[in-house]
Structure 1
Amino acid sequence: MPVTSATAPSGPLAALAGNAWLRFAARRLGRLLVSVWVLLTFAFLMIHLIPGDPVRAALGVSAPAELVEARREALGLNDPLWQQYADYLRGLLHGDLGTSMLTGLPVSQTIGERLPATVELAGLAFAGAALVSVPLGLLMAVLTRGGRRRPVELAFTSGSVVLAVVPEFLLAVGLVYVFSVELGWAPVAMRQGADSYVLPVLALAVGPAAILARILRVETLGVLQAEYVRTARAKRLPDPKVYLRHVLPNALTATITLGGLLLSTMVAGTVLVENVFAWPGLGGTIVGSILAKDYPVVQGVVLVYGLGVLLVNLLVDVALALLDPRSTIRES
């Protein structure tokens, strides 16, 4: 009888199946594309799920019927739903987010003028939270390991809990009252120089920094009990080398995951903080657009915020894969 031998598959599919990093990239890209499609569809349907006529609601009940009909025709709201969806996707591919009902300006222009201020504020706040929480969490773990220094541990855990539960806008109001109204050390509102960044950044960064520091302390305490740390100590390696080379990278995995979630919520938290400080970002834009019922602007801002969250999640996945590739790229 003829003997058949199994041959391994060859070609691009075989290369994809045999490379863990390519499979990881394919999975993440697939999830990203599906998430983006869901976000785009939700943003498109948002204006159609509003009860009544959104154009009439935006222009007011006293607006002439001819003006309402002309604005509906200009926005394409009289076309069939499938055609509106196709035109919406086609416009997004060309960078067209629609036109404001009130100002008549392109939504992309409005967002382009306001987005840099929001990204700058959220980026500075996250960088400040990371720069404070990582050394603080590591230091607290080293000082309180093995049940040492109970008063220090109690003060740290209690303080981090209190700071973590205070809402950003409430902290922002308190900072304005103390440092702007009473002491006069910082401007009350607006972006008027380097000192005007201090209070908004603090309002956004204090809570996430407290959470990250507490999580990093707990993770570091667990890593300090690992066998490879004991081996490093047995080899009489210097303490800074043990902490920075063996302890910190292994303790950062959960912290990076939580940090990505906090950065996503921090971007959303800028909405309230920007309104407290009259910051010229997307926060004031979306609140004003909601109050004025300028739905195309709201639609565009929601889309930008959603894409920002998806991008942050993708960067977190890549960072985890680079930091701990064995556990990340092997997941199903």
Structure 2
Amino acid sequence: MQNRWTAFALRRGTRLIISLWVLVSAAFLMIHLVPGDPVRAMLGPTAAPALVDQTRENLGLNDPLWEQYLRFLRGLFTGDLGTSITMGLPVSEVLAARLPNTLTLGLLGFVLAICLALPVGATIAVATRKGRRRGLELSFASTSVVVATIPDFLLGVALVAIFGVTLELLPVAWTGGAESYVLPVIALAAGPAAVLSRIVRVELLSTLDEDFVRTARAKRLSSRRIVLRHALPNAVTAALTLGGLMLGTLVASTVLVENVFAWPGLGSTVVGAILGRDYPLVQAIVLVYGTGVLLVNTLVDVVLALLDPRSTIGDQ
């Protein structure tokens, strides 16, 4: 058993390191793959040649590619990610100021999605078991599909129009208060909650037909106890797996949602950096988002292995 866990840790660790190296290399090469001269793109077509040459020298773009790459790696390990061209601040300071807002938004969206999906999916499963309430089942299926397919930024615009502009109940942009979180968190959580509730329903319906549930019924346990204490904990593994994978996607989805709600996070920052040709800042934010997705995926694998050690056997 110990050998299987060691092999599992080595495989996951090696895969994570290789993925991080690919991500870092892609972020580094991004500035060199931009068509044309990235410095000219940053400074504009009317910039003086002397200023362009000086900027290239300051950014180290005249050095050999391998030397730039090693300097980039050294900067990552020392926390020196360069200076933002548009803000004039160290990139690390910009990330430190904006990253907490993005993480908070993504985590709250994830928590809300789970809190909605579990009770809704379980309730619909119990209510429609064995073909009962066919109308409710069809309504749930159609509604969840529609909600899941609406882009989160489009849902955000609709929420702003209804609750912010028309009803004037909630702020449409960041104000610093708790009420600022309501609309963007709902915009992020609605789609994942719809998908996860469908998974919970299907898994719970399958679990309710298992032998251990029949045994619980034979002991004359209440229906509520059977569902909550026996069936539901065994049915949520698939939902939590998908939910964990969605966590990385939720954080990445903040890019569009933050711009809809003028949220002071990395999502709105990266759009401004792209428009301003602020390549050091774009590189750093791409690394942050990519690293977050990789770490979440690895964490999901580890949690699943702890919940079901058999998943480590024969894992590739």
Into which bin does the TM-score normalised by the smaller protein fall?
Answer: over 0.9
Indicate conservation of the 8 Å contact 1:160/1:214, yes or no.
Answer: yes
Matched with 1:145 is: 129
- Which whole-Å CA distance do the structure 2 matches of 1:75 and 1:104 have between them? 14
Letter aligned with residue 58 of structure 1: M
2:164 corresponds to 1:180:
yes
Q: 1:189 is matched with which residue: 173, 176, 184?
A: 173
Matched with 1:106 is: 90
- Which whole-Å CA distance do the structure 1 matches of 2:2 and 2:155 have between them? 51
Label 1:84 to 1:105 Cα distance change in 2 as closer, same or farther (>3 A): same
- 4+ aligned runs moved over 6 Å, structure 1: none
Indicate conservation of the 8 Å contact 1:163/1:210, yes or no.
Answer: yes
1:18 positional shift: 4.6
Matched with 1:125 is: 109
Letter aligned with residue 206 of structure 1: A
- Which whole-Å CA distance do the structure 2 matches of 1:144 and 1:82 have between them? 62
Matched with 1:53 is: 37
- Which whole-Å CA distance do the structure 1 matches of 2:250 and 2:222 have between them? 37
Letter aligned with residue 21 of structure 1: W
Indicate conservation of the 8 Å contact 2:5/2:312, yes or no.
Answer: no
Bigger shift: residues 222-231 or 169-178: 222-231
Q: 1:293 is matched with which residue: 277, 297, 300?
A: 277
Indicate conservation of the 8 Å contact 2:86/2:273, yes or no.
Answer: no
- Which whole-Å CA distance do the structure 1 matches of 2:284 and 2:130 have between them? 52
1:260 positional shift: 2.2
2:235 corresponds to 1:251:
yes
1:1-332 correspondence to structure 2 within 5 Å: 18-332=2-316
Q: Deviations over 1:149-208 (max 9, x none)?
A: 111111111111111111111111111111111111001212331111111111111111
1:126 positional shift: 0.7
Letter aligned with residue 166 of structure 1: I
Letter aligned with residue 167 of structure 1: P
- Which whole-Å CA distance do the structure 1 matches of 2:35 and 2:268 have between them? 24
- Which whole-Å CA distance do the structure 2 matches of 1:187 and 1:274 have between them? 14
Residue 84 of structure 1 aligns to a residue whose secondary structure is helix
- Which whole-Å CA distance do the structure 2 matches of 1:206 and 1:192 have between them? 23
Label 1:329 to 1:261 Cα distance change in 2 as closer, same or farther (>3 A): same
Q: Deviations over 1:95-138 (max 9, x none)?
A: 12222223332111111111111111111111011011111111
Indicate conservation of the 8 Å contact 2:84/2:280, yes or no.
Answer: yes
Q: Deviations over 1:248-289 (max 9, x none)?
A: 232122212211232222112111111111000111111111
1:238 positional shift: 3.7
Letter aligned with residue 35 of structure 1: S
- Which whole-Å CA distance do the structure 2 matches of 1:235 and 1:49 have between them? 67
- Which whole-Å CA distance do the structure 1 matches of 2:57 and 2:220 have between them? 77
Indicate conservation of the 8 Å contact 1:321/1:329, yes or no.
Answer: no
Count of aligned positions: 316
Structure 1: runs of 5+ lacking an equivalent: 1-16
Larger Rg belongs to = 1
Residue 32 of structure 2 aligns to a residue whose secondary structure is coil
Matched with 1:10 is: none
Letter aligned with residue 295 of structure 2: L
Indicate conservation of the 8 Å contact 1:47/1:54, yes or no.
Answer: yes
Letter aligned with residue 175 of structure 2: R
Matched with 1:6 is: none
Structure 2: runs of 5+ lacking an equivalent: none
1:330 positional shift: 4.6
Residue 113 of structure 1 aligns to a residue whose secondary structure is helix
Letter aligned with residue 266 of structure 2: L
- Which whole-Å CA distance do the structure 1 matches of 2:16 and 2:76 have between them? 17
Indicate conservation of the 8 Å contact 1:191/1:280, yes or no.
Answer: no
Residue 48 of structure 1 aligns to a residue whose secondary structure is helix
